[in-house]
Structure 1
Amino acid sequence: MSSLTCTSEYCNQGWSEVLTHMSPYGFANFGVAFGLGLSVIGAAWGIWLTGSSLVGAAVKAPRIKSKNLVSVIFCEATAIYGLIMAIILGNKIKEPESVGYYLDEGWDYNGYYYAGYGMFSAGLSVGLTNIASGVSVGLAGSSCAIADAQDASLFVKILIVEIFASALGIFGIIVGIIQSNACTFPTFALSQE
């Protein structure tokens, strides 16, 4: 069999061409999607880890069912952080007041791409941080439920570890807000000189 060869000039273009020719609004919307989607995945993963251990440990010690629901709430907070960031980023996406038909009409294309890339990185930062936070809170909550079933005095001690794991999500949303502060889509054309 012969291998396919491409003689067109477009065949040698790589990912850099894809990334530089994608709409900045697309990058911004992908940032919103990744921020919210990955945060919800992190929360779901943490709730799965905590919930399965909580149900299993509650068979041995039914008294732990209600107070260990705090662990599930900490996991759910990571989804809320993603939702907050999605609202912040979504409000920053502004449509231009008028649309130019030619590239030389005075539009600040660098400003568009700066805002699009910045919003993409802010959403990705929040989403990846909240996956890590959700998993770590889930593991700590799982340990808390199992330890509490064995010895009730361990609940508060392990809950403190869980609070530190939840702080990862707070740090992520702070970094995302700082990243998104400079992301403003231009809404008007630059003056022609």
Structure 2
Amino acid sequence: MSLFSTSLWTTTVMSIIVGLYMLFHNSGESFDFGSFLLDTSPYTWGLLGIASCVAFGIIGAAWGIFICGTSILGGAVKAPRIKTKNLISIIFCEVVAIYSLIIAIVFSAKINDINPAGFYTKSHYYTGFALFWGGITVGLCNLICGVCVGITGSSAALADAQDASLFVKVLVVEIFGSVLGLFGLIVGLLIGGKASDFS
């Protein structure tokens, strides 16, 4: 069993145990997800979204570079000519991280000093949740895009090592895979665009 599935099962079982304990000890109303959402600061939600965006984007870029780089080095043993030409795949993987950083910079412009007295308003909740879900969306899109570009870049390197005429054909597929990260960037801009600044 993988680490992810083990941690998922552990979290689920622990949540059920805590929920049943609270239910049978006359404090079941305290197990309220809605109050958790409202009691948590909107500022926290916004910062978590920005952090998730950067973290997932960088993990996707690193994963793609790992997948692609190993194939480039392995293929270069047979055909040393592919080393420089296939660096375009590494650049595509780096662009994924840059997309996440762009969104993080745009979102962080909405984070300002605030007055704690009138902070828990509908506008601030909307901004916090918009930045959170926008960051999660962009981060996950870039994570998937980084893996996609890495796998396609790996195939491009190995195909180029075998037959130089295949490089451009596989590169077109890699470009289409790279566009997925751009779609995530656009969706993040749309989600965060309507959110007002914290003030």
Q: TM-score, normalised by structure 2?
A: 0.84
Q: Bigger radius of gyration, 1 or 2?
A: 1
Contact 1:108-1:186 within 8 A present in 2 as well:
no
Q: How many pairs does the alignment contain?
A: 179
State percent identity of aligned pairs: 46
The structure carrying a bigger helix percent of its residues is 2
Report what 1:120 is aligned to.
Answer: 132
Q: Secondary structure at 1:92's aligned position in 2?
A: coil
| C-alpha distance in structure 1 between counterparts of 2:119 and 2:62, whole Å | 43
Could you tell me which amino acid in structure 1 is paired with residue 31 of structure 2? Q
Quick one: which of 1, 5, 21 aligns to 2:39? Answer: 21
Quick one: which of 170, 180, 187 aligns to 2:192? Answer: 180
Shift of 1:16: 3.0
Report what 1:79 is aligned to.
Answer: 97
Quick one: which of 77, 97, 113 aligns to 1:95? Answer: 113
| C-alpha distance in structure 1 between counterparts of 2:119 and 2:173, whole Å | 51
Is 1:53 the counterpart of 2:71 in the alignment?
yes
Structure 1 segment 27-66 matched on structure 2, within 5 A: 27-66=45-84
| C-alpha distance in structure 2 between counterparts of 1:24 and 1:54, whole Å | 45
Q: Which runs of 4+ in 1 moved over 4 A?
A: 3-6
Gaps of 5+ in 2: 1-16
Q: CA RMSD in A?
A: 1.9
The one-character-per-residue Cα deviations of 1:127-162 (angstroms, maximum 9, x if unpaired) are 000011001100100000000000000111111110
Contact 2:110-2:198 within 8 A present in 1 as well:
no
Shift of 1:21: 1.2
Contact 1:64-1:149 within 8 A present in 2 as well:
yes
Contact 1:47-1:72 within 8 A present in 2 as well:
yes
Q: Secondary structure at 2:56's aligned position in 1?
A: helix
Answer 1 or 2: higher relative contact order, Cα 8 Å, separation at least 6. Answer: 1
Quick one: which of 156, 170, 176 aligns to 1:158? Answer: 170
Q: TM-score, normalised by structure 1?
A: 0.87
